[in-house]
Chain A
Amino acid sequence: MSLDLIEIILITLAVCSASTFLGSVLGIPAGILLGMRRGDTWKLGRMLCMTMVGLPPVLAGLVVYMMLRNGGLFSGMQILFTPAAIVFAQVLIIFPIVTAGVFPSVSQKRIDITETLNGLNIHGMRRFIILLRENRPALVTSILLGFGRAISEVGAVMIVGGNILHKTRVMTTAIVLETGKGNFGQAFSLGVMLLIISFTVNFFARRMANDHV
């Protein structure tokens, strides 16, 4: 394996871990909120969330691009064509996916859990932690789903990252580049490596979460 290739893999893992982490930090509380609350506003929130799950990643990429470029809403951050821009776009893509993975499970257990928690007079942070624990399988699945989307994303990453060698070239954009250059063998081996990484991450995450699925 060449040094460039190792670097591309490391950049991919770094960027995707960061966006999965941020996407989960935002998405899990949002999912618990959407799952626990009733009423029309929250129903609308759930519908919006499901709509965002279908958000075409390239559109997310375009929106982030327009926000980060000169004169855009966040142009002051100066992060266009950097790994941070990729994380920005990926968080936008996977945040609703994590949320949508969490709230159905929370909804389902809502009545039982609420009764118990109220009965034991548990509120605030402790209540939140117990909700996390009770919905653990759904959380793990959602986080992995988010990671899977992040690592397989290409359109948005190409637009906001620019596919810069040593900086924003990740595995998917490298595959596009090598395919464009006619190096199909190299493109394909990158794809296989991507699958192996995905499998490994899933395997260990499941093991660590004691999930025997």
Chain B
Amino acid sequence: MKNRSKKHMKNHLSIVLIAAIMAMTALASGCKAQPKAQTVLLGTTTSVQDSGLLEYLRPFILADTGITMDIVAQGSGQVLKNAQNGDFDLVLTHSPADEKTLTDSGKGIERKEFMYNFFVIVGPANDPAVIQNTTDAPSALKKIVDSGKKFISRGDESGTNKKELKLFGTAGVDTKKLSAQVYVNAGKGMGDVLNMASETGAYTLTDKATFLSMKSSLNLSILFESDSTLKNTYSIILVNPASFQNVNKDGARLLYDWFLSAKGLDLISKYGDKEYGEKLFYLMD
């Protein structure tokens, strides 16, 4: 009998303990979600996030504006669709056609092209499709698929994916008619696609920033670059607070202005020198 009651006491103690731990942790998570006023929900592309630019800017932004950025990284297509629905406060993307859809609908305002870099075509160092000496990016892509070598597409309606489809279009190639052996529709982010290309000895189109940030772990080389058709332009767009009342109007405006301020632009233009030995983003003229 004595033993039994002792056992029960131990049970009660354990229940109280578990409840206390859960309550404490739930409280902790609740507190973290609290400060909304100084938080701006920024929808951006995987390429911007993977490049490390925003984490580099974060402390400066916090010091100057008191804003904490909550960054959600998705493909540009997805980011802009979510912005269309008012799910972000501010977006930073690189898909001009989709961006225009957003601003035309009035759900996005004050679109500003403010920085750019370049897409590059990467592949195995020995360049089996011999694209290194082609004259322009569309012919380089055409040469890869014509020679039956593998090309991996993001296939996720991201800015990079849209760019690639546009280039194939210019070259007169209908990617839907290519065999799955040649044109691989991965449906994944940039990092994953670079890993896939590296593992399978395939080619892909990537923004230079992401490639440089992952270069050391990849068996890939830049085989084609510096073509004006490969320019990759990033825009910043405010989600229209007149359309969505939940948008953090003041915070988004403050952050938008900071990005376009002399100090913001200067920091952006210097990013990459120290980390990768070359600049990752250039400012618009």
Residues of B within 8 A of A80 (CB): 87
Cα–Cα, bound, A92→B55 (Å): 33
Interface hit among A6-14, A112-120, A191-199: A6-14
Query: By the criterion CB–CB under 8 Å, are A21 and B22 in contact?
Result: yes
Q: What class of interface size applies to chain B in its complex with A? A: 35 or more
Q: Say which residue of A14, A20, A75, A180 sits within 8 Å of B29 (CB atoms).
A: A14
A135 part of interface (Cβ distance < 8 Å): no
Q: How far is the CA of A178 from the CA of B16 in the complex (A)?
A: 38
A70 CA to B240 CA, complexed, in Å: 14
- Interface-facing stretch out of A29-37, A103-111, A163-171: A163-171
- A: interface residue count bin: 35 or more
- B132 interface residue (CB < 8 Å to A): no
Whether a CB of chain A sits under 8 angstroms from the CB of B18 is: yes
Whether A14 and B26, one on each chain, are in contact in the complex, defined by CB atoms closer than 8 angstroms, is yes
Q: Does B262 reach chain A (CB closer than 8 Å)?
A: no
Contacts of B217 in A (CB 8 A): 182-184
Distance from A91 Cβ to chain B, minimum over Cβ atoms (Å): 12
B215 nearest in chain A by CB position: A182
> A78 CB to closest chain B CB, in angstroms?
6
B25 to A70, Cβ gap below 8 A?
A: no
Kindly list chain A residues whose C-beta atoms are within 8 Å of the C-beta of B22: 17-18, 20-21
Q: Flag whether B63 is at the interface (Cβ < 8 A).
A: no
What B residues does A18 contact at CB under 8 A?
22, 25-26, 29
A209 touches B (CB below 8 Å): yes
Contact indicator A70/B195 (Cβ below 8 Å): no
Bits for A46-82, please: 1 = Cβ < 8 Å to B, else 0.
0000000000000000000000011100010011111
Please tell me if A190 contacts chain B, counting CB pairs below 8 Å: no
Task: Say yes or no: A210 contacts B10, CB within 8 Å.
Answer: yes
Given contacts A179-B195, A180-B50, A180-B195, list 6 more A-B pairs with CB under 8 A.
A10-B28, A80-B87, A83-B33, A166-B32, A167-B70, A182-B195
